Structures are given as C-alpha cells and as structure tokens.
Amino acid sequence: MNSEVILSCAVTGSGNTVDRSPHVPVTPEQIATAAIEAAKAGATVAHCHVRDPETGKGSRDPALYREVVDRIRSSDTDVIINLTSGMGGDIVLGDLDAGEILSPDGTDMVGADERLIHVKELLPEICTLDCGTMNFAEADYVMTNTPGMLEKMSKKIQQIGVKPELEVFDTGHLWLAKHMLEQGWLDQPPLFQICLGIPWGAPADTAHMKTMVDALPQGANWAAFGISRMQMPMVAQAVILGGHVRVGLEDNLYLERGVLATNAQLVEKAKKIIELLGARVVSPEEGRQKLSLNKQV
C-alpha cells in the first residue's frame, strides 16, 4: 500500500462531455479556475486539455494553453501542471464503401513538433504521452500513436526536459513504453499512468490493474484511474496496490448516482477515500520530490 499519494485532477479532457454537465470547463479562464479549485481542494497535480471556447470541442491551440497556464501560475495556488500532448493523433474513418478513407470531421494528424509546441513553449512540469494506438469508444475513431511517432515524440520531450507521463491503456502499450525506455528515448525513473475502463482498452477492475502493475519496470512511479462509476473504486485499488491516483471531469461526471460533480468535489471525495485507507495526499512540493521534478516558472 502507498501511504503518501499524489492526487491528480484531470479537469476537462477533450471528449464530448460539455453538453452532459454544466461543470465541464470550456474557456481558458474556466479551465484554469477548475485547476486552481482542484488544487485548493487537495490535488497535487492539475492535468489540462484545452477546448475551443466557441464549440467546446478539444483543441491544441497554443494560445489557449498559454492562457490556462499563465492564469494558474499567476494565482497564489501551488499545483504541478500537467499538459496533454495527445491532441493531433486523431483518425476518423470516412465512408469506406464510397471510397472516402478519412473523414474530414474529426481527423487531425500532425507531426511531433506541432503536437508538442505548447509543451516546448510553456514548459509544464509534466506532459502526457499516449503510448499506443487503439480503438477509442466511437465507431470509426482511432487514437493513433505509432511506434515511429512515439520515438519522435519521446526524444523531443527528452530534449525539452519535461517529465513524460506514460499513458498506457492496455498491456501492449505498456510493452511499447518499456521498449522506449530500453532504447533510451525516455529518462529514468519513468512515470506511468494506467488508464482503465476506456473502450476498448483494459477494463477497470482489480485483475487488470494488478496485471499492468506487475509488468511495470522496477523503480517506476505509477498512478492509475478508472472512468465513470469505477473512478472512486480504482482510487482505492491504486492506493492499496502501491500507486498514485487520478480523478476529474475528464474521466467521470458524477459525484454519486444522479448527482453531477465539480472537479473540486471529486478531489475532496478521493482525498477522503485515501485518508480512510490510512494514507495521505502529498503537497505539490512533495510530489515534485517524489517524481524528481523541477518547478517551472
């Protein structure tokens, strides 16, 4: 069991959740405010995507990231900033019977430099790196991160000097991430995020979490989360197995059945679970020490 837990809050994501809850932040101001509120509720890390303020859809506009980060950094609340690098690897298939290979609605494929431009410019303490390709919930959408793409992205993140959080959605992703470590494209010690319950990756249950934890390289730091109603059960499971945790509206919209949550409320609930297990949530400064981070300014 882990007695000193890093608690991350993924405040918005890029999925189609804006119309499902009024609490999902959309504008840079709303996203930054959600991150600050989560930190004040006890979160060690704020994980941030950005959205188009007009449409609510996920975006990779560096100007939106800059506003979010500037607002967080100019506040009086300390929190480790974790920015996604997942945008720009999206394939949506078209009507193949009609000869349309890719749909222009949703397909967004760019190179490593463009996917990481906001990371290079803003220097968050952590950025995510999705370590594989997978069918991702929707019928014709594929989250695309080929081995060649990941080699370029991991080497660039290494050059920038930001800690990558290795997002693994299934055992094959973990295998590929370990290969990247063996090749020296990632610095030691690694930080893994075990992502459970996303169709069609690994399910959110004890057996699959333990399988992936048992396969981690020795000395790795790791966290895990489950989506939807499995968010809080996976908080408890990760702590018991020795890891860190993540909650937030990116992964789950409800505080309990029928009750929509805010990010701060999800953090407070996770913190209570952690404390009832006899552990505690660490501060951002303690989190930096555990993960060997350097606070960016």
Q: pLDDT tens for residues 238-284? A: 999 999 999 999 999 999 999 999 999 999 999 999 999 999 999 99
Q: What is the pLDDT of residue 288?
A: 97
pLDDT for res 233: 98
Walk me through the domains of the chain, giving residue ranges and CATH numbers: 4-291 (3.20.20.70)
Q: Is the pLDDT of residue 32 over 70?
A: yes
Buried-state track 224-248, b at ≥16 Cβ within 10 A, e below 16: bbbbeebbbebbebbbebebbbbbb
Closest CA to 139 of 95, 98, 176: 95
Region of 291 (left: φ > 0; alpha: ψ -120 to 50; beta: rest) is: alpha
pLDDT, one tens digit per residue, over 40-99 is 999 999 999 999 999 999 999 999 999 999 999 999 899 999 999 989 999 998 888 878
Q: Write out pLDDT tens, residues 138-188.
A: 788 999 999 999 999 999 999 999 999 999 999 999 999 999 999 999 999
DSSP state of 96: G
How far is Cα 208 from Cα 191, in angstroms, rounded to an integer?
19
Query: What confidence tens digit (pLDDT) does each residue in 82-141 have?
Result: 999 989 999 998 888 878 888 888 899 999 999 999 999 999 999 999 999 999 877 889
pTM for the full predicted model: 0.94
- If one counts every other C-beta atom within 10 angstroms of the C-beta of residue 80, the result is 25
pLDDT of residue 163: 97
Which of 247, 214, 235 has the alpha carbon at shortest distance from 279? 235
Beta carbons within 8 Å of 286's beta carbon, 6+ residues apart: 4, 44
